[in-house]
Amino acid sequence: MLATGESLLMFVAQQGAFINFDKLRRIHKMPSSPHIINEPLNNGAIILYVAYLVLGWLVIRSVYRLWFHPLHRIPGSKLAAVTSFYEFYFDAIKGGRYLWQIEKMHEKYGPVVRINPREVHIKDSDYFHTIASGRRDKDTYNLNTIMTPNAALGTVGHDSHKVRRHIIDRVFSKLSIAKIDSMIQEKLEILMKRLNRARITGTVVDLNYTLANLTTDVISEYVYGESLGSLHEEEYQNTVVDDIQLSLGSFHYSRLSPTLLKLVRLVPMSLPGGGEKLTLEPFSRMVQLGREKSHEYLSGAISGDGVKKVTVLGALVADTVPPQEKTMERLVDESLAVLTGGILSTADVLAVALFHLGRNPSILQTLRQELFGSLSLSGDRIAWSQQSISITKLEKLPYLTAVIRESLRISHPVIVRSARVAAHATMYKDVVIPPGTPVSQSIYFVSMDPLIFPSPEIFNPDRWIEAAANGVNLTKFFVIFGSGSRACVGIHLAYAELYHIIAAFSSTFNWKLHQTGPEDVRTARDMLLAAPESGFLSIKAIITGTVE
């Protein structure tokens, strides 16, 4: 029966593709019967024929998807099962809101739902690691969102991904990140001096944008061997951050309508839901930057093995890397994937952390007591690099660690779901999901699960301290960086930045929030990154003084 449905679909599609309308007109004019009135077939009739053909194809496809598709027994919205436009409407047109529609489906149908014609979503925090484990490929459908298909991030096959991931794992290991601790502190000191000038002048600081300048300079120096110098821009201008945010505006259009994305390559256009304009111009600028830097490494101007400074590009052209992996496309895509992935996500977590610390004086006071009680902090903490505080020391502070974990949990740095495909059937309790089916689960649902994190919308670092004291393994559900072989490669770099910046800022400055309330921070949209009701995160503050 399944074969019959597929054959019908193929037949209708073939007929629509190969109808000869000139021949149709000639046949229409032939006197086959005296009862037939011979009239020329006009354009209106042609349109009508095509409309009937399309309608018939849609009906047959809908019938197949509802009653004969391998997923037809999986519960869920009938409209979602029939057409991907249901998802397109909520994510592309409405601007990243399908995640909450999925939540409503789970409330109605249970933990397993069919969220589009081909994908199943499971909402069960205990099952999260199961989906990410084993030999599972990435869903090819998600590649529409990946503008860097030659990066490990955009690699579909499990084995191919393993090879590419191994190349960059070494440069992002905890040991390698510890070696750039001084570089991170040097960048942080530049930021601290600028924040101190803002204190003196009373300037309102956009924390997200300001912190993104720091993360830009850190990750660009680690990728390319030299920073982009964003911290030295007089007005905190950062074209890379601007370009990333512009690109995120087209995220769901590219994910759900790759044909439209191809059109945009030729003609930029304005579309609702994502941003002011759907255009690939920002991405083109970033590609050009990556191409210029990659050429220096491939041409031998910079050696991958001989250079003293460890870089991502250096790791990609090392002698141990297979020749087929040392191409311009590979270097450009991998460097861009790392660069763009390590800027806004970390900056947003930092800004959210400072927002909640600013709103909760008791939490901030507890954090300061730990910092001053455990670290030998000198008077001039603006010169952070001279404090001789390593990431190793900071990681041993339990309350600082709790603040960082809670900031990551509540900020949802990467919110979009990512489906995995297994070659074998997937079992969830008594539900059998056919092999080859994309199965996804959302980090957001785990982080906001009230059974695991009571009052999940409340910023409460003490939940981590209490869980550890009571022998509860709460970290099992700390899945912010993903799970399995495709977990975030930059986890150790992100932690190094989070520990240093939160410790330095909290122990040095007093601040108050400026025209920023809970509604400006509450996650309301999935734009790959978590986003508020409109626009992107923009937490503003005024530095009011220094900590004595």
| Binding-site annotation, residues for heme | 488
Q: Please report, as a single letter, which amino acid is at residue 531.
A: A
Q: Residue 35: beta bridge partners?
A: none
Compute the distance between CA of residue 410 and CA of residue 456 in angstroms, rounded to an integer.
8
Please give the distance of CA 304 from its chain centroid, rounded to a whole number.
29
| Residue ranges of E strands in 193-304 | 204-206
Residues β-bridged to residue 278: 269
Residue 490 in tokens: 């930059």
Q: How far is it, in rounded angstroms, from Cα 48 to Cα 44?
A: 6
CA angle 335-341-347, nearest 5°? 130
What residues form the annotated binding site?
A: 488
- Alpha carbon distance 58, 62 (integer Å): 6
Beta strands in 455-528 (DSSP E): 509-513, 525-527
CA separation, residue 299 to residues 226, 303, 317 (Å): 17, 9, 10
User: Count of CB atoms within 10 A of residue 244's CB?
Assistant: 23
Burial of 483 (0-12, 13-18, 19+ CB in 10 A): middle
CB 427 within 8 A of CB 400: no
Rounded CA-CA distance 405/419 in Å is 25
Spatial separation of the C-alpha atoms in residues 399 and 366, rounded to whole Å? 8
DSSP 460-481: -THHHHHHHHTT--GGGG--TT
Q: Residue 425 CB: number of other CB atoms within 10 A?
A: 11
Structure tokens at 516: 């920023």
Q: Where are the beta strands (DSSP E) in 132-282?
A: 136-138, 204-206
Of 441, 440, 446, nearest to 409 (Cα)? 446
Distance between CA atoms of 246 and 303, rounded to whole angstroms?
A: 34
Backbone phi, psi, residue 5, to 5°: -60, -45
CA-CA distances (angstroms) from residue 33 to 28, 30, 36, 46, 370?
A: 11, 9, 5, 22, 97
Distance CA 503, CA 367 (A): 9
